[in-house]
Structure 1
Amino acid sequence: MSDIRGFTAGFRILGPLEGHYGPTVHRPRGPKVRNLLALLAVRAHDIVEVDTLVEELWDGSPPSTAVSTVRTHVYHLRQELERALGAEAMRGVISTEATGYSLRPAPGQLDLDVFTRLYGQGRAEMRAGNRESALQRFDAALGLWRGRTLADVAQGRVLAGHAARIEDLRVRAQELRIEAAMGLGRHRELVPELRRLVATHPLNEWMHARLIDALHRSGRRGDALRAFHDVRTVLAQELGLEPSEDLRQLQHHILAGGSAA
C-alpha cells in the first residue's frame, strides 16, 4: 500500500479493488465475488447482513437460491484470497456472523481505515492551529488514493451509496488540505492543484472561490476575474444559478482593488 511503511497484507479500495500480500497483488475474479468483497470492505468491521448482500448482488431481483448462492460466493472468495495471498494472512479476515459476514482487517490492512485515521489526525491538528502538521497528515491521507473509489467494480445501489460517501470524505480532505496550505501562505503553489480540482468538481463553488482567492493573492488579478467568469458560466449553464455570496464578495473585493495580502 503506497506511503504506508511496513504494509504486508490487506486490501485497497481507494481506486481499483486489490488484495495484497507482500509483492503479490490480487484482483478477485467474477463480478459478484468482486462486489461481495467490495461491500464487505466499505463496511469493514461491521456485520453486513445477508439481505444487504443479496440486494447489492441482484439489484432487487434475486433468484430463489440467492441466500445459498451468497454462501457459495463467500466460500469461493475465502478460498481465492487464501490461495493468492496466503492462508495465514487471510485467516479470520472474513468472519461468519449470525446474520451475515464481516471483513475484519487488522490495523493498517485496509487503505480506507488508514485514510480515515490520517484524516482524523489532520482535522485534530487543524483545530489545534498546527497547519504544517495538518498539511502533512492530509498529504499522507490523500496519497493513498489511486483513482475513484472501487474504480473497476460495477457497483449496485448499495455499494454506490457507500462509494459516494467515501468520495465525499476525499473531497473534504482536499478542502481541509487547501485551507491548511492557504493558511501557510502557499497561494502560488496551490493554483495548479486548484485548477485540477475545479475541473474535476466543476460545481463545487468553495473550490472555485479558493482558486479565485489564490490567484488574487498571487498578484494575478486578471486571471482571478477570468476564473470568476468561468464559474459563473458553468453555474448558469449547468444549474441556472448565480454564483454564491462568497464568490460575489470575492469578485467585488478584486474589482474594488482590495489588497491581495
Structure 2
Amino acid sequence: MSSGSDSAVRMEIQVLGSLALRTPHGGNLIDFLTAPKPRKIIALLVLQANHVVTTAAMARELWGDNPPASMQTTLQTYVLQVRKFLGRALCRTSSEVARDVLVTKFSGYQLNLRQGEVDLHEFERLAAEGRKALADGFDEKAIRLLTGAMEVWSGPPLVDMQVGPLLDAEIRRLEESRLTVLMQRNDAKLRLALHHELPGELAGLVSQYPMHENLHAQYMLSLYRSGRCSDALVVFRRLREHLVGELGLEPSLRLQRLHRAMLTADPLLDGADFTEVESLLDRFGGAPALAVPRRAG
C-alpha cells in the first residue's frame, strides 16, 4: 500500500482475466468473498487504484439507475465487508485497513495500492515502454516489450463477473488497449519481415472484429508477403461484404489501394525497395498498418 510500511504484506491482484487476489499466504483469497456486490466494489476500486471512487459511481455500478432508498447504508455495509476481507488477506485490523488501505474520502473511497501489485499496471508499463521503443525506431525491443505486455493477460478482463455499466465500460477500454498493443507489435513484425508469424493470430482477430480495417490491412499484407495473395484478396472481399452489408459503406481508400496493389502484384508491397519508402507511404495514404520496413541502424 502506498502509505504502508515496506514490511507490510504485499498483494498480487489480477483483473486481466478472472478477478484474483493473492498474498504470500497462498491461494486466490477472492474466493472467500463470494457475495457479488462486494466483489464488484473491489474490482471498481482496483481499476481506479489510488484514485477516489465516488459513492455515486459505486451505486451506479451496483444498481444502475435504480438505487435503493437505503443506498448509503448498504454501501457502507459492503465497504465494511471489503475492509474485513482485506484485513484478513493482509493480516491487519479493519481499523488499520480503513486508515491505510481502503480510505474514506469526502465523496467516496480510495484503495491505496503499491506499484507492482496490480497486473493492469504492469501491462500499462510494458505497453508504454513498447510504444517508446517503436517511436525511437527499435522494433526488436518493441516486440519484446509489447509481447510481454500481452502475456500479462490470462483472459478477458473480469471474465468471471457479471458487471454493471461502469465495469463494462472499463472492460471495453482495456480490450481496446490490448488490441492497440497487438497491432503495434504486428507493425513492428511486418517491418522486420516477420510476416509469417502473423496470419494464424490475425485470422482469429478478423473473425472477432469483422469490420476492423487496420486488422484486415495487417492480415492482408502478412498473407501477401507469405505468398498467399489469393487468400489476401479473399480477406478484402469478406471485409467489403461486412461493411456494405452492415453499414452500407465501402472500405476506405487506403484498403482499396492496398487491394489494387495486390491485384497488380506491386513490388513495393514486398517492402524490399527501401529507396521508395516515401512513394509507398504516399500511395497508401501514409498508413502505419502497412508497416514499411525501416533501414537497418
Please, which of 14, 17, 23 is the counterpart of residue 16 of structure 2?
Answer: 14
Q: Shift in Å at residue 231 of structure 1?
A: 1.3
Please, which of 177, 180, 188 is the counterpart of residue 188 of structure 2?
Answer: 180
Instruction: Show the counterpart of 1:216.
Output: 224
Partners of 1:12 and 1:18 within 8 A in 2:
yes
Counterparts of 1:123-138 in structure 2 under 5 Å?
A: 123-138=131-146
Instruction: Show the counterpart of 1:41.
Output: 46
Q: Distance in 2 between matches of 1:239 and 1:30?
A: 42
Q: Distance in 2 between matches of 1:148 and 1:183?
A: 29
Please, which of 248, 267, 277 is the counterpart of residue 240 of structure 1?
Answer: 248
Q: Shift in Å at residue 152 of structure 1?
A: 1.7
Q: Which amino acid is the alignment partner of residue 188 of structure 1?
A: H
Q: Distance in 2 between matches of 1:56 and 1:220?
A: 48
Task: Please give the secondary structure, in 2, of the residue aligned with 1:106.
Answer: coil
Q: Between Structure 1 and Structure 2, whose CA radius of gyration is higher? A: 2
Please, which of 43, 49, 56 is the counterpart of residue 51 of structure 1?
Answer: 56
Q: Please state if 1:77 is matched with 2:79.
A: no
Partners of 1:42 and 1:163 within 8 A in 2:
no
Q: Which amino acid is the alignment partner of residue 180 of structure 1?
A: A
Q: Which moved more, 1:59-68 or 1:128-137?
A: 59-68
| Deviations 1:118-160, CA, capped at 9 Å, x for gaps | 1100011011001111111111111111222211222211222
Aligned length: 254
Q: Distance in 1 between matches of 2:249 and 2:226?
A: 28
Counterparts of 1:60-209 in structure 2 under 5 Å?
A: 60-83=65-88, 85-87=89-91, 91=97, 92-209=100-217
Q: Shift in Å at residue 88 of structure 1?
A: 5.0
Gaps in structure 2 of 5+ consecutive residues = 1-9, 271-297
Instruction: Show the counterpart of 1:4.
Output: none
Task: Please give the secondary structure, in 2, of the residue aligned with 1:95.
Answer: strand
| Deviations 1:187-226, CA, capped at 9 Å, x for gaps | 0111111112112222211001110011111111111111
Q: Distance in 2 between matches of 1:32 and 1:66?
A: 13
Q: Distance in 2 between matches of 1:257 and 1:129?
A: 28
Q: Which amino acid is the alignment partner of residue 11 of structure 1?
A: I
| Deviations 1:88-141, CA, capped at 9 Å, x for gaps | 599533222222111221111011111111110001101100111111111111
Partners of 1:17 and 1:150 within 8 A in 2:
yes
Please, which of 215, 219, 237 is the counterpart of residue 229 of structure 1?
Answer: 237
Partners of 1:41 and 1:103 within 8 A in 2:
yes
Q: Distance in 2 between matches of 1:150 and 1:244?
A: 34
Q: Distance in 1 between matches of 2:120 and 2:244?
A: 36
Q: Which moved more, 1:86-95 or 1:168-177?
A: 86-95
Q: Which amino acid is the alignment partner of residue 91 of structure 2?
A: A
Normalising by structure 2, report the TM-score.
Answer: 0.81
Identity of aligned residues (%): 33
Task: Please give the secondary structure, in 2, of the residue aligned with 1:24.
Answer: coil
Normalising by structure 1, report the TM-score.
Answer: 0.91
Task: Please give the secondary structure, in 1, of the residue aligned with 2:198.
Answer: helix
Gaps in structure 1 of 5+ consecutive residues = 1-7
